[in-house]
Amino acid sequence: MSTTYPEKPYIGLKYTDKYNRVITIIAVKDNTIDVKFDDGTIVRDQKYYRLLSDRIINHNLPGRNARYSDAKKQHIGEENIANNGMWMKIVQYTDNKHIRVRFSDAYEVDTQYSYFRRGLVRNPNAKPWHTSLPEIALLFYLRQIGFAKHPMGYWQKFNPKFGLLELDLWNEELMCGIEYDGWWHIKEDATKRDVKKIEACNQSNIFLLHIRPDELPLLPNTITYHKTNDWAHIADLIPVILHILNEKFHTNFNIDVNIERDRVQIIQLASQYSLYAQARIGKSVLMKCGRMGTVIAYSNVQNIIVQFDDGTEVTTTNYQQFCAGNVPHPHFPKLPAEEYQALCELQEMQDYLPFNPHADSHNPQSTQHFHDGTVGTFVQRLENGNVLVNLNDESICETTSLSWHRQHKPSFKHADIKPQRINFRRQSNSGYWYTVIDYINKENCTIKFDNGVIRTGLRWQSVKNGSVKCTSPSPRNATTIA
């Protein structure tokens, strides 16, 4: 006789599941319940319907829950980097909804595994990790004179008041820090941090140089710049920075600055400080020109470098365009939408082999049986991405890679094969050597024997197999050259 359970849970309700385990509700919350198994195991924050459908897991039991035990062993100790730039590690794993994460500063927080994998676990002791591209450009050049980036908390050894505050660029030999302030420093919390940094630097005999937009209030030792949508203004800022440092520290610093020349290297350097670079560098997408593109450097969504399968690099693009396949190739036009969609399907099946001029020209799939019964043999891949195919009727045709790989009835475009067959030489079955001197089509070839006899109107199949005779001249199909 089956037991009927109430629609709403209450404390003390006992439920016996299909495994004969007695489960007791020990707490009822707004939308969840806490339950206790007969072995004493307590599982919290579960839905009532999961209890009635035997879906609440007791991780201390073997058998049915063994896979959860394996997952627990697999995930404990797993590391990832959070959006605040701090390393975190799983120290306790109950299930995907209940894990405990420990940050590098020993702070622990309970969260879900999906949040951990995406870096969405918040540490209230740390601010979000943000390194702007202009700041990276400054680092690229100023590292030549000893400036570097350091993690949060590094400056506590000079003054405990620094806490988790950081300086964008730091030269310990000069005891000099540089702060690149973006437009967001107009916010109240950013202004408070700036004031604290200035106070801590003054107490520690640290020379702090601020670089900020002209729309922000001036601070001590400030260099201003006009806000633009790019970072070309760095080329104008660095000489001013060097002039101030040379006067302050009696040095003779000099740096060759060329943003356009060093653009690729700057973006590659930014990849080391980008939160998403680790996941996005190496990603490949089939572009709408039919070529594969791969991210080889990532600074932010607006600045990435894409390399095509033929070695061509494109630097003026963004990540959204890349994911949509909209990165143009300088030498290959955009494919029709229908053909591009078909290529995407082929790419998913790993059947499409893009053209690579540096690779072997032979296709490993040398013979194809098309749906209309035609048999084609691969000859070679052309630089335009098409392939030359030798059909079973002995005609050589040019078709698209799409038609070749999908085995559909090809809309063949006959290639100009006359140059390939002119000057073809072979010894006939009767022992005479001859040369093709004209080719009209597969039913009309002209050959010339080495003894001067010319024969016309021959089938290419006979010419290729040597099944032609060196006959005496006749008015119909032979001419003798004196």
* Tokens of residue 223, six digits: 């260099």
Which carries the bigger pLDDT value, residue 90 or residue 302? 90
| DSSP alpha helix (H) spans, 204-258 | 234-249
pTM for the complete prediction?
A: 0.41
- As a residue count, the chain comes to 482
User: Which residues partner with 307 through β-bridges?
Assistant: 294, 313
Q: Where are the domains of the chain?
A: 14-61, 67-117, 133-257, 262-334, 339-415, 419-480
pLDDT single digits (tens) 118-174: 777 877 665 545 567 788 888 899 999 999 887 777 788 888 888 878 888 899 899
Nearest to 62 by CA among 41, 90, 93: 41
Which carries the bigger pLDDT value, residue 3 or residue 192? 192
* Tokens of residue 429, six digits: 């079955």
Q: Sort residue 58 into left (φ over 0), alpha (ψ -120 to 50) or beta.
A: beta
For 133-257, the fitting CATH number among 2.60.40, 3.40.1130, 1.20.1260, 3.40.960 is 3.40.960
Question: What's the average model confidence in pLDDT over 280-286?
Answer: 79
Question: What's the average model confidence in pLDDT over 295-314?
Answer: 81
DSSP letter (8 states) at residue 148: B
Element holding 14 (H helix, E strand):
strand 14-16
Question: What's the average model confidence in pLDDT over 369-393?
Answer: 67
Q: Is residue 358 very low, low, confident or very high in pLDDT (cuts 50, 70, 90)?
A: very low
What are the strands, taking DSSP E only, across 257-400?
284-286, 292-300, 303-308, 313-317, 367-369, 375-381, 387-391, 396-399
Mean pLDDT of the chain: 76
Which carries the bigger pLDDT value, residue 203 or residue 188? 203
Q: Is residue 274 very low, low, confident or very high in pLDDT (cuts 50, 70, 90)?
A: low
Q: Quote the pLDDT of residue 360.
A: 37
Question: What's the average model confidence in pLDDT over 69-81?
Answer: 71
pLDDT single digits (tens) 199-236: 999 998 999 998 888 777 778 887 877 766 566 788 88
Which carries the bigger pLDDT value, residue 74 or residue 172? 172
Q: Is residue 361 very low, low, confident or very high in pLDDT (cuts 50, 70, 90)?
A: very low
Q: Quote the pLDDT of residue 482.
A: 36
Q: Quote the pLDDT of residue 176.
A: 93
Q: Quote the pLDDT of residue 243.
A: 92
